[in-house]
Chain A
Amino acid sequence: MSFKDIIGQEEAKRILQSAIRNNRLSHAYLFIGPDGVGKRLTAKTLAKALNCQRSDVDPCDECKSCRRIDRDEYPDVKIVEPVGNSIKIEEMRKIRREASFKPLEGRKKVYIIQEASTMTQPAANSLLKTLEEPQGETLFILTTSNIHGLLPTIISRCQLVRFKPLSAKIIEDILTKKKGIAKNEAYMASNLSEGSIGKALSITEEKGLRDRVINLIIEISLKDMEGIFQTAREFTQDRDQIPFILSILSSWYRDLLVFKESEDPSSLVNVDKKEEIAKEAEKYSKEEIEEIISLVLKTIDYIKRNVNPQLAIENMLLKIAGHETTRTVK
């Protein structure tokens, strides 16, 4: 991949390429933007450009250096990723030592720290001095989707490069042209993806799941307690799917609200379900939908904080279905 193959991040590319061209490359960059929009790709491309044997502003992608960087085999380009849930101080100490040496082969040593917000407090602090005044030909690229998880002192030492969520149109193009997905499906997935290709892809893989979840939630108000618990069991069956299911629910109720407010089908996420949305929107008042949305958001938050997912989802469904009383188990 060279810079021109990176889609949608024109401004980020402009900033980095003109910095190379004008020989004004900073020693530390912070790439911020949602997951799956090309931060890692851009970081590696920049590393290639700086070490490419043929050109400098855009890597050739063919020389030995470029190919080895692509395969993560190049000694002067290191990618640091969280081990478990965090990046620890030991890792940072190693980098600090190495960073003071000259590049082994290339022109520039590049450290790409992925998900920098997962650095532990000690790890982040131990990077501060190096980040401010690294010795020699060293470049740090930090990437994160959550800038609020970073120390202000880290942010202030880096030049910020913002990566935008990809527009739905671009994602749709990628899905149809590169991945061969049907146009209709691509359209829906790109609207649900919130600007992330990764997310869009996993949505197309899980098409059936979305239909099922939406059908279940439409029926929920007709069900008795037993039926609701059954639905809850189905939602929690596969733990890894829970966040996705909840995000389907939140987008569903968002659509109801948007439809009620604007009666305009063009801004819906679940574009393929216009009729269902119109019908469902009739059932609720705006305030009720708002209440449900905050309920879903709260549930997402609870589960993130390790509340038992089954209890949280049962509770949520009971409330959505209008059984306000708490659980009375037979």
Chain B
Amino acid sequence: MVYIVLARKWRPKTFEEVVGQEHITKTLAGAIKQNRVSHAYLFSGPRGIGKTTTARLLAKALNCEKGPTSVPCNKCTHCKEIAIGNSLDVLEIDGASNRGIDEVRDLREKVKFAPASSKYKVYIIDEVHMLTTEAFNALLKTLEEPPPHVIFILATTAPFKLPLTILSRCQRFDFRRIKSKDIVEKLAEIAKDEKLEISEDILFQIAQASEGSMRDGISVLDQLISLGGKKVTQEDLQAILGIVPQETFFKLTKSLVENNTKGALDLINQIIDQGYDIRHFTTDLLKHFRNLLMLKINEEIVDLPKDLKERLKEFRERFDQDRLLRMIEIVSQAREEMKRSERVRLILEMAVVKLTRLKLTVSVDEILGKIESIEERLGIMPAQEELSIEEVPTRLRRGFGGQEEGAPAEKIKDETSYPPTLNLRRAGLELGGIKDAWGEVVKEIKKDSAVTGAFLMEGEPIALKDDLLTIGFNEDFKFHKEQIEERENKELIQKALNKVFGKEFTIECRLTNIPRARSETVAQKGMAMSKEEFIEKEPVVKEALDIFGGEILEIKPSTGKVIPPEENKK
């Protein structure tokens, strides 16, 4: 006896059994009741959610001996014939294999004839997106005004591939992804019928893995049953879905907290040795970090079983938002690279190395803070040491001045040797004040909206003229600038400024080519020492150099502010 897979065996037999598509089944049932059935339907939506099933149900409902009825009897000859695909009047056409104009011409010929025994001739064209352009065009006239006994149902996963002329001739129904909750319910029903013992937790995991597709969910259940046990274990599920146990993600997160590169790499090696799909693992890792971030922002939107959520919370305070964002960035970049490359292991290892190094990158602020305090202790010393521009490697020039590669050297010289313009100096007193209190402002904004605060952190005040405060963003942070320019965000900032300074400001955003890092101060504040001496004396500076990979360009006394280049170049 041929075994029929569960997904076929459990194909819904009435409109009511179709899960999660009430908006469609109700409309169709209503149309039948009121005798307002259209002559052409288009069913669209992702895989495995009930398009073909609903098309067949509609055919049954129309051709049932007791019909047209919204509740087909499933007992009469017509219903039975349709169910096994033998009906002469319900023609299911595979659009992907019969995609040419000849097939459509043939269909047009046959459409004219009256149905053999039923009331309607129903043409179900599945995978209709694969028809050729000519075939679509040949279908247009028939689709618009078919003979009264004919009904077309087109079904596809890719409605955007259909010509507009086809779309406009059909009543379109968009099928939705099915909610995890609904899938769990259905799977539980099937499991009960198959006398399978399965926990709700496992059903939930199946539903999540199926991404809203009922067929995918039932298919996994089918495989679990075919393993033969009476009770489904977590191990069975991992074998079928190829998912890495949650424990691994927690372990990895732990080694990130501890900056334990070796431990993290060992963990990755284990995963690979156990033969897990690395791409899959990376996606799950991304989800894990995403959950961690969401847990910080809004607990409600984390879609996880309770105990996992509790465990995740332990790590919540160990990472700040910035670091989590960077982590997500690194992992999602790795995932992108994996799509194009087979060397997935290497890409994952690189990503993990970067992840464990993050702590250092984040502590740049601390290091800069230390530098500043040392500078304060040393006081500002006169005299400067000029460094001829030829000695500066290109890479560094780019890094410091924000200059594009190949910018004329004279320009850079200008920048380093001329004093800031008068204009700025006058404004300086106030601008300086704002700069000093900028952290306060950001903090204030974060109270209202953490997101706006995060965006604003990428910018800094660069000019002040009367009440007009200009906030500069490096070109790399164009997105942040645009976000800040949103009216809502602007108002938030104004409110915060008002609170901190007791003054109304107008805000303007501008893109600059100043690198964002406050590292500018390293170049600007300084003292009269030779470079070597300076490095010698200040291990912190050396540390900074190691991290940034640069060298000291010039050591100058502090002016206390950053000079916007556009002012400076004049």
Contacts and interface: CB of A to CB of B under 8 A. Distances in A.
Interface of A: 11, 14-15, 18-19, 21-27, 32, 89, 92-93, 96, 121-122, 125-130, 132-133, 136-137, 148, 152-153, 156-160, 162, 164-168, 194-195, 247, 250-251, 254, 257-258, 261-264, 267, 285-287, 290, 293-294, 297, 300-301, 304
A165 B130 contact: no
Contacts of A122: 96, 99, 130
A22 B226 contact: yes
Nearest to B394: A324
Contacts of B356: 261
A254 B349 contact: yes
Contact of A258 (B130, B215, B242, B265): B265
A50 B275 CA distance: 28
Nearest to A108: B2
18 contacts: A19-B226, A22-B225, A26-B226, A96-B97, A122-B130, A125-B96, A126-B130, A128-B94, A128-B126, A133-B85, A136-B2, A152-B47, A156-B47, A160-B242, A258-B349, A261-B265, A262-B261, A262-B262
Contacts of A258: 265, 349
Interface string B244-281: 00000000000000000110011001001111110100
A24 B225 contact: yes
A298 to B, nearest CB: 9
A15 B275 contact: no
A300 B346 CA distance: 13
A129 B96 CA distance: 9
Contacts of B262: 261-264
B242 to A, nearest CB: 4
Nearest to B95: A125
Given A21-B228, A297-B341, A156 B350 contact: no
Contacts of B47: 152-153, 156
Chain A binding surface SS class: helix
Given A153-B157, A247-B343, A297-B347, A164 B276 contact: yes
Given A24-B3, A122-B96, A129-B94, A165 B354 contact: no
Given A21-B228, A287-B549, A290-B354, A250 B8 contact: no
Interface stretch (B216-224, B366-374, B535-543, B553-561): B216-224
B340 interface: yes
Given A287-B549, A290-B353, A297-B337, A164 B222 contact: no
Contacts of A96: 97
Given A15-B240, A301-B341, A267 B261 contact: no
A293 B350 contact: yes
A126 B5 contact: no
B1 interface: yes
A164 B339 contact: no
B428 interface: no
A287 to B, nearest CB: 7
Nearest to A267: B269
A27 B239 contact: no
A299 to B, nearest CB: 11
A165 B272 contact: yes
B258 to A, nearest CB: 14
A159 B350 contact: no
Output the residue of A23, A153, A254, A267 with the most chain B CB within 10 A.
Answer: A153
A286 B274 contact: no
Output the residue of A21, A92, A137, A262 with the most chain B CB within 10 A.
Answer: A262
Contacts of B215: 156-157
Nearest to B278: A165
B226 A297 contact: no
Contacts of B272: 165, 195
B96 A159 contact: no
B343 A156 contact: no
B460 interface: no
B230 to A, nearest CB: 12
A156 to B, nearest CB: 4
A284 to B, nearest CB: 12
- A-B pairs, top 4 by smallest CB distance, nearest first, are A164-B275, A125-B96, A262-B262, A24-B226
Given A15-B239, A122-B96, A286-B353, A159 B227 contact: no
Contacts of A14: 227, 239
Contacts of A254: 346, 349
Given A26-B222, A153-B157, A156-B219, A167 B343 contact: no
B48 to A, nearest CB: 5
Interface in B417-437: none
B89 interface: no
B443 to A, nearest CB: 33
Contacts of A157: 215
B345 interface: yes
Contacts of B274: 164, 167
Interface in B374-406: none
Nearest to B262: A262
Output the residue of B8, B277, B337 with the most chain A CB within 10 A.
Answer: B277
A320 to B, nearest CB: 16
B212 to A, nearest CB: 11
Contacts of B226: 15, 18-19, 22, 24-26
A19 B1 CA distance: 14
Given A26-B222, A128-B127, A287-B549, A137 B242 contact: no
Given A157-B215, A261-B356, A262-B266, 9 more contacts: A24-B3, A25-B3, A128-B94, A128-B126, A129-B126, A160-B223, A258-B349, A267-B266, A287-B549
Nearest to B129: A125
Contacts of B8: 132-133
Contact of A126 (B94, B275, B341): B94
Contacts of B213: 156
Contacts of A294: 350
